[in-house]
Structure 1
Amino acid sequence: MFENQTFEEIMERMLERVSDEIDKRENSVIWNALAPAAAELALSYIWLDQVLNLVYADTAEGEYLDRRAAEAGLERYQASKAIWSAAFTDGVSVPPGTRFFLEDLYFTMLEDGKLECETAGTKGNANLSGRPLLPLDTIPGLEKAVVGSLEIPGRDEETDESLYERYLIRVRREAVSANQMHYKQWAEEVDGVGKAKVFPLWNGEGTVKVVITNAKMEPASDALIERVKQYIDPDPGKGEGMAPIGAYTAVESAVWKDVSISAKIIPESGRTIDEAKQEIVEKITALFKEMAFKESVIRLSQINNMIYESSSVSDYSEVFINGEAKNLQLIETEIPKLGQVTIIEQD
């Protein structure tokens, strides 16, 4: 809006107000007297432009977007902590509050026998399964303390993009009166949930099924499923959670759909087949994570484009998904998982 209010434009207007009988050339007395004020005014217009961007939700960032969202009753999701199972010496009781250490991370024993990472965010989702824990408290008879499986992944603080999407849903009243979007919103509010999909009337009148992924866009654990169930509908039909009276809510996990990819390629000069395969695997893995619960078709054209755009690939042919040169249709509860990737050199 103020992009034309430059130093030069402001100086020109100011000098026009000065009599032509006075020397107005650059570095003259009057020019040097006006220049500092013009520079400050130009800077003020730059700040005014930024202020306008922070006023509106579609261009606001950080705390200013938080304040806009708060007007609609929304708060940014804070980083949540990862929950792990653990195995200890048989017969040894580990009291709640006991702390352990592993890989620069501290863990605390919870009431339900699970371990909570004290560091919030995705750092607590590291590959720790089977690793020994170092207890920070003395526990008589404890000889084994091993990390089990990741029950509920931690998630990082919500991004501006995600918060803005939820803001639009709220102000456009897309999620109201226990409609489908409202159930989706409730499920995704639970710490550890990535995406949710809602199936109304799945088992007759008054029934709703919610299918969820965890924060890593993987199938959810039983613990996370129970957490969502308790939040939405702890006592079916009673309206004691977020769901209204008379609504019976079932919560299930998404399921994997193994997807194999094969292709023939010609590597770029100086690059190897292994380098090309690694690059292709990284691109397709990111694609599958992004499309989870958003798209239900893995398109052959998408895979072709990713191979074509790989810097280590010069040319390619015969691309197949699960052995066929066609799109792969997913069922509504499936999320794609990259399985075997076969990349061979084209003759």
Structure 2
Amino acid sequence: MFEEQTYEALMERMLDRLPDDIDKRENSVIWNALAPAAAELAQSYIWLDQVFELVFADTAQGEFLDRRAAEVGIERKPATKAVWSAVIQPDNINIPAGSRFFIEDVYFQYSKDGTLECETPGKAGNVQLTDQPLLSLDTIPGLESIKMKELVIPGQEEEDDASLYDRYLIRARREAVSANRAHYKKWAEEVPGVGRAKVFPLWNGEGTVKIVITDGNLDVASDLLVKRVQEYIDPVPGEGEGQAPIGSKATVESAKWLDIDIEVAVELQMDWTLEGAQKEIEEKVKTLLKSIAFEKSTIRMSALNDILYHSESVSDYADVLLNGESKNLVLQDIEIPRLRQVKVIEQTG
């Protein structure tokens, strides 16, 4: 907005205001007197331009986007903690809630529901720890061993600006009030560990609502996460004990996997192997499927062709099959695509 307010432009305008019988040449007394003021004014215009960028939500960043979002009742999601299930020996031992354990410099606390919650928010607790033993920081009589079983709720980093802005737009353009569809979606995604949610009104008759969720990694949600969302929204169906109003019966479910198989015949670039090409294509397809999860309903052949066209390992390709067919694949509303395999064969002839 203020790109034209440069130091040179300001100096020219200031000097033009002076009578012509005054020496206005560079390094004259009046020129040297005005130059510092022009420099400071030019810097002020630069700062003012930056302030305008921070005022509007589409260009605001950090705490300034937080303040815009707060105007419509939206807060940035804080980092959440990973939750693991555990295998305990003997299995009937009583471990006090809050007991602390550690493994590989990551610390966990035992919860009353029998899970282990990472003390460090974010993805620190998402590392591969399955079947690894933990060391106790407290004296627990009778405890023989405790091992990690599986990650049931992945930890998430603090919400980034892009995600916060998307939620701000949804809230600003379609108000989530009075238990409308947007309100149920907002409630579900408020629960720590939830990634995205879909809402299906009247799915089983009058007054019923189904909420289907993913976890923070946009994967299938665990039973524990489903239970937490159910308890938050509608712990006693129809009674109004949670966020849902009296008479509304909400049912929370996890999304379902849909396995994806891709087959393609390729002509390799020099110095590439089929194994290397397969690995490169797999990584790009996984990124594509993650972007589609609960956002789009179709996996398009054009997107796969684009991946193959821009792959460094591929010189040419043909016969692309998606789950055995050469056409777009339509997902059901509750399905998340998951790559099972990429079969890469070398073109002949």
The TM-score range, normalised by the shorter chain, is: over 0.9
CA distance in 2, matches of 1:8, 1:316: 57
CA distance in 2, matches of 1:324, 1:164: 38
Q: Secondary structure at the match of 1:246?
A: coil
Deviation at 1:263, TM superposition (A): 1.1
Partners of 2:234 and 2:244 within 8 A in 1: yes
Q: Mark the runs of 5 or more structure 1 residues left unpaired by the alignment.
A: none
Counterpart AA for 1:35: A
Partners of 2:174 and 2:182 within 8 A in 1: no
CA distance in 1, matches of 2:23, 2:321: 77
Partner of 1:253: 254
Partner of 1:23: 23
Deviation at 1:7, TM superposition (A): 1.0
Counterpart AA for 2:37: A
Partner of 2:210: 209
Q: Report how many residues are paired.
A: 347
Counterpart AA for 1:243: A
Q: Secondary structure at the match of 1:41?
A: helix
Counterpart AA for 2:195: G
Partner of 2:286: 285
Task: Identify which range, 231-240 or 32-41, moves more after superposition.
Answer: 32-41
CA distance in 2, matches of 1:139, 1:31: 81
Q: Secondary structure at the match of 1:203?
A: coil
CA distance in 2, matches of 1:48, 1:81: 39
Partner of 1:162: 163
1:309/1:30 CA distance change after superposition, 3 Å = same
Deviation at 1:218, TM superposition (A): 0.9
Partners of 2:86 and 2:149 within 8 A in 1: yes
Q: Secondary structure at the match of 1:310?
A: coil
1:310/1:28 CA distance change after superposition, 3 Å = farther
Counterpart AA for 2:18: V
CA distance in 2, matches of 1:25, 1:169: 57
CA distance in 1, matches of 2:311, 2:34: 55
Task: Identify which range, 306-315 or 38-47, moves more after superposition.
Answer: 306-315
Counterpart AA for 2:184: Y
1:32/1:308 CA distance change after superposition, 3 Å = same
Q: Any idea what the Cα deviations from partners look like across 1:242-298, whole Å, max 9, x if unmatched? A: 111111111111110000111122232333332222221111111111111111111
Q: Secondary structure at the match of 1:185?
A: helix
Q: How does 1:288-303 map to 2 (within 5 A)?
A: 288-303=289-304
CA distance in 2, matches of 1:144, 1:258: 36
TM-score (norm 2): 0.95
Task: Identify which range, 16-25 or 308-317, moves more after superposition.
Answer: 16-25
Q: Secondary structure at the match of 1:151?
A: strand
| CA RMSD in angstroms, aligned pairs only | 1.5
Counterpart AA for 1:13: R
CA distance in 1, matches of 2:58, 2:125: 32
Partner of 2:224: 223
Q: How does 1:103-252 map to 2 (within 5 A)?
A: 103-252=104-253
CA distance in 1, matches of 2:305, 2:47: 45
CA distance in 2, matches of 1:335, 1:190: 20
Counterpart AA for 1:213: T
Partners of 2:267 and 2:314 within 8 A in 1: yes
CA distance in 1, matches of 2:276, 2:295: 30
Partner of 1:92: 93
Q: Does 1:46 align with 2:80?
A: no
Partner of 1:262: 263
Partners of 2:238 and 2:249 within 8 A in 1: yes
Deviation at 1:226, TM superposition (A): 0.7
Q: Does 1:75 align with 2:75?
A: yes
Q: Any idea what the Cα deviations from partners look like across 1:13-40, whole Å, max 9, x if unmatched? A: 1121233333333334433332221111
Partners of 2:219 and 2:336 within 8 A in 1: yes
Deviation at 1:70, TM superposition (A): 1.5
CA distance in 2, matches of 1:334, 1:115: 29
Counterpart AA for 1:14: M
Instruction: State the percentage of identical aligned residues.
Output: 61
Partner of 1:329: 330
CA distance in 2, matches of 1:205, 1:289: 34
Q: Any idea what the Cα deviations from partners look like across 1:178-200, whole Å, max 9, x if unmatched? A: 11111111111111111111111
Deviation at 1:147, TM superposition (A): 0.5
Deviation at 1:86, TM superposition (A): 0.6
Partners of 2:261 and 2:342 within 8 A in 1: yes
CA distance in 2, matches of 1:148, 1:25: 80
